[in-house]
């Protein structure tokens, strides 16, 4: 029998995908470079999957793997990990549990992994604190501030009622409890994983303090959601910090990542591994700035967040995507406000943005 053929690279919009359309099947792992393996787990929703990365490592108890991200806390994800640790990683321990950021598809099973493997949790402080806050906020009814925020964005009564029926404590249902203690990482720190130095590169905008991991020796960047190959990560303004500037932070993060080598192999949280980091960063930056220009021209004498969906997304926004679309629209409107290109008027609790 002839040996399996290596995957054929594919190319799209200036990016190269070294593995083509190949991907690890559920319950399996694929080596991307020596010492780094790739697992892909299903998640509900339009993204469909999340990538997790296993890095050969060792600690005081022996050899193992450092795990970067986990998938959501769902029976399907738990079963996939059990298959991996009963099959290709049988007998292998998780030495360190690293979370790139606090979103449930990335740390949903981090606490479960820490418990099972007695592994320390490693995260940026802003991510860990935000996750712990959302897990602890177990109230059953929608906070009045959230309802007011939705009204301000232009939601109608039916949309507000639909969201209220889904409840408030959804985060903790798909995130296993995290350890009470963790190891903090911050921008510029270095993690020693299996004798290789991985430098922490922090970005913001998509989440408070998103940690990417850079292996300069081998030219590898574990990018989480900070750089995705085919879609732009959600950049949202939320109720907890309504005067923030997440899109401004996103632009600054793109500039920071542009300082990294252009030829890195990028291992993203969603989509396929690729090369062409600077090309992708330029495209994301350009996309958002073009949206801002279109949005300013569209505002006229006044638009609400819900009124600009068609300009920003060019597709129908259903009830399940309404929250994310609202946050993204408000982030762009807030950025125009900060740049002096739009002004916000409040009328009967609703935010109206007009062009300047």
Distance CA 101, CA 223 (A): 11
Q: Residue 263 in contact with residue 275, Cβ under 8 Å?
A: yes
pLDDT attached to residue 327: 98
pLDDT attached to residue 5: 57
CA dist 179 → 91, 97, 312 (Å): 23, 11, 39
| Terminal Cα distance for the chain, rounded | 69
Q: Is the dihedral of CA 51, 56, 57, 63 positive or negative?
A: positive
pLDDT attached to residue 4: 52
pLDDT attached to residue 6: 64
CA dist 324 → 110, 147, 335, 338 (Å): 24, 15, 17, 21
pLDDT tens sequence for the chain (356 residues):
444 556 789 999 999 999 998 899 989 999 999 999 999 999 998 899 999 999 999 999 999 999 999 999 999 999 999 999 999 999 999 999 999 999 999 999 999 999 999 999 999 999 999 999 999 997 889 999 999 999 999 999 999 999 999 888 889 999 999 999 999 999 999 999 999 999 999 999 999 999 999 999 999 999 999 999 999 999 999 999 999 999 999 999 999 999 999 999 999 999 999 999 999 999 999 999 999 999 999 999 999 999 999 999 977 899 989 999 999 999 999 999 999 999 999 999 999 999 99
Closest among 127, 105, 264, 276 to 187, alpha carbons compared: 127
What's the burial of 86, exposed, middle or buried (CB within 10 Å: 0-12/13-18/19+)? exposed
pLDDT attached to residue 184: 98
The residues, ordered by sequence, that sit 6+ positions from 132 with a Cβ below 8 Å of its Cβ are 178
Q: Residue 106 in contact with residue 224, Cβ under 8 Å?
A: yes
CATH architecture of 10-138+168-298: 4-Layer Sandwich (3.60)
- DSSP conformation class of 305: G
Q: Residue 330 in contact with residue 153, Cβ under 8 Å?
A: yes
Residue extents of the structural domains in the chain: 10-138+168-298
Q: How many beta carbons lie within 10 A of that of residue 356, not counting itself?
A: 12
pLDDT attached to residue 83: 97
Give the number of C-alpha atoms closer than 13 A to the C-alpha of residue 246, restricted to the C-beta side: 24
Closest among 216, 224, 170 to 197, alpha carbons compared: 216
Distance CA 148, CA 152 (A): 6
pTM, 2 dp: 0.96
Q: How far is CA 126 from the centre of its chain?
A: 14
pLDDT attached to residue 247: 98
CA dist 233 → 198, 262, 284 (Å): 23, 20, 9
Unique residue bearing structure tokens 């359309």: 21
Unique residue bearing structure tokens 């922090």: 202
Closest among 193, 191, 213, 192 to 202, alpha carbons compared: 213
């Amino acid at each position: 029998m002839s040996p399996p053929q290596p995957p054929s690279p594919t190319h799209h919009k200036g990016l190269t995908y070294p593995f083509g359309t190949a991907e690890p099947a559920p319950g399996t792992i694929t080596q991307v470079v020596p010492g780094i393996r790739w697992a892909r787990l299903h998640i509900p929703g339009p993204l469909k999957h999340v990538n997790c990365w296993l890095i050969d490592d060792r600690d005081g108890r022996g050899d193992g793997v450092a795990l970067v991200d986990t998938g959501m806390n769902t029976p399907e994800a738990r079963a996939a990990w059990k298959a991996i640790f009963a099959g290709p990683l049988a007998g292998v321990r998780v030495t360190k549990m690293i979370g790139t950021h606090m979103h449930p598809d990335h740390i949903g099973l981090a606490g479960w992994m820490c418990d099972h493997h007695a592994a320390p949790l490693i995260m940026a402080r802003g991510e860990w604190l935000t996750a712990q806050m959302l897990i602890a906020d177990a109230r059953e009814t929608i906070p009045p501030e959230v309802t007011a925020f939705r009204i301000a964005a232009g939601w109608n009564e039916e949309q507000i009622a639909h969201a209220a029926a889904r409840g408030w404590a959804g985060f903790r249902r798909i995130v296993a409890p995290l350890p009470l203690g963790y190891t903090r990482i911050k921008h510029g720190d270095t993690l020693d994983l299996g004798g290789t130095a991985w430098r922490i590169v922090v970005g913001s905008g998509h989440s408070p303090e998103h940690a990417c991991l850079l292996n300069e020796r081998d030219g590898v960047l574990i990018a989480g959601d900070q750089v995705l190959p085919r879609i732009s990560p959600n950049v949202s303004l939320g109720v907890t910090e309504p005067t923030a500037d997440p899109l401004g932070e996103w632009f600054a993060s793109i500039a920071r990542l542009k300082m990294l080598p252009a030829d890195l192999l990028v291992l993203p949280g969603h989509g396929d591994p690729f090369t062409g980091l600077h090309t992708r960063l330029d495209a994301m930056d350009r996309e958002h700035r073009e949206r801002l220009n279109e949005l300013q021209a569209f505002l006229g004498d006044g638009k609400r967040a819900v009124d600009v969906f068609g300009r920003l997304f060019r597709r129908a926004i259903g009830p399940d995507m309404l929250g994310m679309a609202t946050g993204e629209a408000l982030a762009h409107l807030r950025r125009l406000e900060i740049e002096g290109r739009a002004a916000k008027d409040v009328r009967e609790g609703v935010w109206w943005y007009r062009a300047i």
